[in-house]
């Protein structure tokens, strides 16, 4: 942990509206994405794929009624999956349910297995009472679903249970399947009040840092404590898996180590598999949330200074461990005559940086500033540092920089802990 003592002053001139200003970095919040320390291990950082090398700087006006509420990332589930073998399916499997009208799909785990899943041979029972497949109106095979544009294996049988028959357990048996045949059963309960939810404060994380997800199970009226859950993080190629710890108070927690960064393109996923006994019901739910992962290879240094440009300009200090083209995005807010902060403009800049420290200019066109009729104090929000050539989001601050008016100038600066 180190402290950066920032004592900075900025002169911003837009016509006769501004004289000397003071600029202060705000300390990061718990949900901000900030590298705790840069990694020097380039083995986990791919080569930059950037082609453009010229610096660019853009800005455009933001709508005054822009919604600035920070939204949690969330995923909901009324479904679960069960992996079974042909031997298990031939002997019979039990599936807990919580509402009528469940949709069940049985498929070979992989296409092209020549598995013969025949609806006529499938034997069903609900709560130990028999149910004839012929009595179901919605029965489909893989070939039928493929003709409707669904990406399912041809070796598939799907059906919907009656919407007027309540059921707590469904049993399925299909004689004749090969003992070692890998199968997956998907259970979707569109009419169930029981919903699992996973939340995250953002969709981007840094390798080696803690990752936390909220996890809940609700019947629409109450949220219940979950004590039976398996959870994990999975790499984009599904080749690496890391366990997630669970607690009733904090949800899920874990991390992807720096050496766990996958060379495969795509998103990482957090998976939670819930099986909970509540009110005499067995409730199963599988829920997942996708997110991106980046190395701790770049960050803002905490230095900012006046830019020699018209309008509202900032030169932001940036530290990176490898050469590449880096981008800065920031939403600029200004103060109206009622003392309220209002959206002013979105500014974007990009430049090629060598390893070490450098600067990227975030500049607001003077005409946008004059047209907005907004003044100091200004604030830069949603400030992001991206590695363009590697598609990494390296830092993100909900509230980053405050630009005070002359009469609001800080007397001594601000200390920021990193």
Note the pLDDT tens digit of each residue in 29-46.
989 999 988 987 788 788
Element (H, E) at 90: helix 86-91
Mean pLDDT of 79-88: 95
Decide the pairing of beta strands 73-77 and 356-364.
unpaired
Instruction: Note whether 364 and 376 are within 8 A (CB).
Output: no
- How many CA atoms, within 13 angstroms, populate the side-chain half-sphere of residue 12? 28
**Helix or strand or coil: residue 158?**
strand
Q: How far apart are CA 148 and CA 146, in angstroms?
A: 5
Name 24's Cβ contacts closer than 8 Å, sequence gap at least 6: 6, 8, 401, 402, 404, 410, 413, 414
**Two structure tokens written together for 371:** 């047209």
Instruction: Note whether 196 and 285 are within 8 A (CB).
Output: yes
Does the structure show a pLDDT above 50 at 124? yes
Q: Point out which residues pair with 245 in neighbouring strands.
A: 253
Q: Are residues 54 and 94 in the same domain?
A: no
Percent pLDDT > 90 in the chain is 58
Q: What's the pLDDT tens digit per position in 45-75?
A: 888 888 888 889 889 998 877 776 767 899 9
Q: Are residues 311 and 371 in the same domain?
A: yes
Q: What's the pLDDT tens digit per position in 161-177?
A: 999 888 899 999 998 77
Q: Is residue 359 part of a domain?
A: yes
**4 or 372: whose pLDDT is higher?**
372
400 band by pLDDT with thresholds 50, 70 and 90: very high
Q: Is residue 151 part of a domain?
A: yes
pTM, 2 dp: 0.84
Give me the sign of the Cα torsion angle 125, 131, 137, 140.
Answer: positive
Does the structure show a pLDDT above 90 at 415? no
**72 or 80: whose pLDDT is higher?**
80
Lowest-pLDDT range of 13-22, 79-88, 121-130, 263-272: 13-22
Mean pLDDT of 357-383: 92
Does the structure show a pLDDT above 70 at 414? no
CATH number reported for the structural domain that contains residue 233 in this entry: 2.60.40.1930
135 band by pLDDT with thresholds 50, 70 and 90: confident
pLDDT of residue 98: 96
pLDDT of residue 7: 26
Q: Is residue 44 part of a domain?
A: yes
Does the structure show a pLDDT above 70 at 413? no
Q: Point out which residues pair with 130 in neighbouring strands.
A: 125
Q: Is residue 73 part of a domain?
A: no
Q: Are residues 308 and 411 in the same domain?
A: yes
Cα-Cα end-to-end distance for the chain? 6
Pick from 294, 316, 340: which residue ends a domain?
Answer: 294
Q: Are residues 303 and 413 in the same domain?
A: yes
Q: Are residues 212 and 277 in the same domain?
A: yes
Element (H, E) at 312: strand 312-320
**45 CB neighbour count, 10 Å cutoff:** 20
Q: How far apart are CA 346 and CA 331, in angstroms?
A: 5
Pick from 145, 166, 188: which residue ends a domain?
Answer: 188
DSSP string, 348-386: EEEEEE-SEEEEEEEEE-HHHHHHHT-EEEEEEEEEEEE
Q: Are residues 218 and 270 in the same domain?
A: yes
Q: Is residue 159 part of a domain?
A: yes
pLDDT of residue 3: 36
DSSP string, 107-146: EESSS-------GGG-EEEETTEEE-GGG-S-EEEHHHHH
CATH number reported for the structural domain that contains residue 101 in this entry: 2.60.120.1370
Does the structure show a pLDDT above 70 at 1? no
Backbone angles phi and psi of 165, in degrees to 5: -125, 110
**182 or 80: whose pLDDT is higher?**
80
Instruction: Note whether 394 and 293 are within 8 A (CB).
Output: no
Instruction: Note whether 282 and 275 are within 8 A (CB).
Output: yes
Give the start-end residues of each E strand in 150-262: 156-160, 169-173, 182-188, 195-200, 204-206, 211-218, 223-224, 229-234, 241-243, 245-247, 251-254
Considering its fold, how many domains does the chain have in total? 3
Mean pLDDT of 106-116: 76
Q: Is residue 307 part of a domain?
A: yes
Q: Are residues 273 and 316 in the same domain?
A: no
pLDDT of residue 8: 29
Nearest to 415 by CA among 36, 21, 7: 7
Instruction: Note whether 381 and 26 are within 8 A (CB).
Output: no
Question: What's the mean pLDDT when you consider all of the chain?
Answer: 86
Mean pLDDT of 318-325: 96
Lowest-pLDDT range of 115-119, 205-209, 292-296: 115-119
Q: Is residue 74 part of a domain?
A: no
Mean pLDDT of 135-139: 84
Does the structure show a pLDDT above 50 at 342? yes
Q: Is residue 155 part of a domain?
A: yes
**412 or 310: whose pLDDT is higher?**
310
Pick from 294, 329, 357: which residue ends a domain?
Answer: 294
Q: What's the pLDDT tens digit per position in 249-296?
A: 889 999 999 988 887 889 999 999 999 999 889 999 999 999 999 999
Q: Are residues 48 and 84 in the same domain?
A: no
List the domain range (segments joined by +) for residue 175.
79-188
Q: Are residues 176 and 244 in the same domain?
A: no
Does the structure show a pLDDT above 50 at 377? yes
Q: Are residues 84 and 178 in the same domain?
A: yes
21 band by pLDDT with thresholds 50, 70 and 90: low
Q: Are residues 234 and 217 in the same domain?
A: yes
pLDDT of residue 240: 95
Q: Are residues 341 and 409 in the same domain?
A: yes
């Amino acid at each position: 942990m180190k402290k950066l003592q920032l004592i900075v002053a900025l002169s911003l001139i837009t016509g006769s509206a501004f004289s000397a200003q003071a600029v202060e970095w705000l300390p990061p919040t718990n949900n901000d994405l900030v590298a705790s320390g840069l990694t020097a291990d380039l083995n986990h950082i791919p080569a930059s794929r950037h082609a453009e090398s010229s610096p660019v700087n853009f800005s455009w006006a933001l709508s005054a009624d822009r919604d600035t509420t920070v939204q949690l990332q969330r995923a909901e589930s009324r479904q679960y999956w069960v992996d079974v073998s042909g031997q298990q399916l031939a002997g019979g499997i039990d599936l807990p349910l919580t509402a009528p009208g469940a949709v069940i799909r049985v498929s070979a785990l992989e296409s092209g297995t020549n598995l013969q899943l025949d609806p006529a041979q499938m034997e069903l029972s609900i709560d130990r009472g028999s149910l004839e497949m012929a009595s179901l109106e919605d029965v489909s095979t893989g070939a039928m679903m493929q003709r409707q544009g669904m990406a399912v294996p041809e070796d598939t049988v799907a059906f919907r249970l009656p919407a007027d028959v309540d059921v707590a357990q469904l049993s399925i048996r299909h004689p004749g399947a090969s003992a070692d045949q890998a199968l997956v059963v998907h259970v979707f309960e569109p009419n169930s009040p029981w919903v699992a939810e996973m939340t995250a404060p953002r969709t981007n994380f840094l390798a080696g840092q803690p990752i936390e997800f909220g996890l809940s199970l609700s019947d629409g009226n109450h949220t219940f404590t979950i004590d039976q859950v398996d959870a994990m993080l999975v790499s984009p190629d599904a080749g690496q898996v890391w366990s997630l710890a669970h607690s009733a108070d904090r949800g899920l927690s874990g991390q992807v180590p720096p050496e766990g960064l996958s060379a495969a393109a795509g998103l990482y996923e957090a998976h939670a598999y819930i099986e909970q006994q509540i009110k005499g019901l067995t409730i199963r739910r599988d829920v997942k949330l996708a997110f991106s992962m980046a190395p701790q290879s770049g960050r803002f240094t905490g230095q900012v200074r006046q830019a020699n440009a018209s309008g509202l300009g900032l030169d932001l200090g940036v530290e990176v461990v490898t050469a590449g083209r880096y981008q800065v995005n920031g939403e600029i807010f200004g103060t109206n005559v009622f003392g309220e902060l209002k959206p002013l403009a979105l500014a974007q800049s990009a430049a090629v940086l060598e390893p070490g420290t450098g600067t990227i200019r975030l500049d607001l066109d003077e005409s946008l500033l004059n047209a907005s009729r907004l003044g100091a104090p200004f604030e830069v929000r949603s400030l992001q540092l991206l590695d363009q050539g590697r598609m990494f989001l390296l830092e993100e601050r909900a509230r980053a920089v405050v630009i005070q008016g002359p009469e609001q100038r800080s007397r001594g600066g601000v200390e920021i802990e990193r």
